[in-house]
Amino acid sequence: MRNLEKYKGIIPAFYACYDENGEISPERVRALTEYHVKKGVKGIYVNGSSGECIYQSVEDRKIVLENVMEAAKGKLTVIAHVACNNTKDSVELAKHAESLGVDAIAAIPPIYFHLPEYAIADYWNAMSAAAPNTDFVIYNIPQLAGVALTMNLFAKMRENPKVIGVKNSSMPVQDIQMFKAAAGEDYIIFNGPDEQFISGRVIGAEAGIGGTYGVMPELFLKMDELVKENRLDEAREVQYAANEVIYKMCSCHGNMYAVIKEILRINENLDLGSVRAPLAELIEEDMPIVREAAEMIRVAREKYIK
C-alpha cells in the first residue's frame, strides 16, 4: 500500500500573482505561498485553472513553481499542474517540476481536439515518463476540457504505477464514488467542485483541491474537521455559508479570480495583482459586491472558527 497521507486534507489551488505590469511577480508568489503555510493547509495545487495557466507561457509557469518551492519545500505538499496544449511543453514542465522536488504532477486531457482515449493516455504517460520519480494525478474536468475521464481510460492509466488518483471536478458526486470503487484504497480521489466539498468527502474523496479555498481556507479546514468527526449537520452549515460567498463572488462583472484577489487585499493585506486578459478585470460597480463578499467571509470565520 502507498502512503498517501501527505495528500489528505485541504489543498487550495494557487492563484496567479502579477506585478503592476501584469508580469509574474516572484515576490508575490512567495508571499502567497507563505500565506498558505500560515493558514495551516495541507498543500497547494500550482499552475492550474486558478493559476491562469491557460494564459501563461512555459517560462511564466517555471518562474511560479520555482518561487513556490523556495517558500513551500518541506512545509506544504505541492502538486504542479504541467498540462499544456501540446505534449512537448507539458513534458518540459514535468521535467522541471521533478527537478524542483514537487510531490506530484497533474494534468487535464489535451483540449480543443477531441482525441481518442489512447492518445490521451499517451499524452499523460509522456508527462509521467518525464518525471519518473514523481506521483501523477489525473485531472478530470469535462465541462472545461471537453473530454471526460471514462472508467476504461482510468483503468488504462492505472497500469502506470506513478498514477495515484484523480482530481475530480465533474459535477456528479457519483463520479467520485465510481472512481474510488474502481481504484481501491491504494489511490486517492480529490473533490474538485468547492460547492459540494462535504458531499464529495462523504461519498469517498479523502481530500479536496479547490479554487476558492485560498480566499477562505479556515472555512474549508473547518468543514474537513467536521466531516472527520462525523458532525455532518455542522459541516453542512459551514458549507452553505461558503457557498453563499462563492455565489456572491460570481455575481460581478469581473472574473471570480479578480474578485478573490481583491478580497485577499481587503481581508489579508495580500496584493496579488489582477488577472490576465482575456479574463475580465473588476469595474467600479463591482466594488460594493466585493466588499460584501469580504465581509461575509469575516462574519463566517467569526461564527464557525472557535
Question: Residues 193-247: pLDDT tens digits?
Answer: 999 999 999 999 999 999 999 999 999 999 999 999 999 999 999 999 999 999 9
pLDDT at position 175 is 97
**Based on the structure, what is the number of domains in the chain?**
1
The question of whether 118 is a catalytic residue gets the answer no
The question of whether 156 is a catalytic residue gets the answer no
Find the catalytic residue in 7, 18, 139, 187: 139
> CATH number for the domain including 58?
3.20.20.70
pLDDT at position 214 is 98
Residue 241: inside a domain, yes or no? no
For residue 146, what is its C-alpha cell?
Answer: 471537453
Q: Which residues are CB-neighbours of 125 under 8 A, at least 6 positions away? A: 157, 160
pLDDT at position 77 is 98
Per-chain mean pLDDT for the chain: 97
Parent domain of 156? 7-216
Q: Which helix (H) or strand (E) holds 104?
A: strand 104-107
Each residue's pLDDT tens digit, 260-294: 999 999 999 999 999 999 999 999 999 999 999 99
Each residue's pLDDT tens digit, 59-79: 999 999 999 999 998 999 999
pLDDT at position 278 is 98
Residue 88: inside a domain, yes or no? yes
CA distances from 157 to 5, 24, 70, 82, 212 (A): 22, 34, 31, 17, 29
Residue 128: inside a domain, yes or no? yes
pLDDT at position 73 is 84
Residue 306: is its pLDDT beyond 80? no
Cα–Cα distance for residue pair 159/176, rounded to 1 Å = 20
Residue 231: inside a domain, yes or no? no
Each residue's pLDDT tens digit, 87-109: 999 999 999 999 999 999 999 99
Cα–Cα distance for residue pair 87/85, rounded to 1 Å = 7
pLDDT at position 144 is 87
Find the catalytic residue in 42, 62, 162, 167: 167
Residue 271: inside a domain, yes or no? no
Residue 1: is its pLDDT beyond 80? no
Residue 106: inside a domain, yes or no? yes
User: CB of 274 within 8 A of CB of 261?
Assistant: yes
User: CB of 258 within 8 A of CB of 280?
Assistant: yes
Residue 179: inside a domain, yes or no? yes
Residue 254: inside a domain, yes or no? no
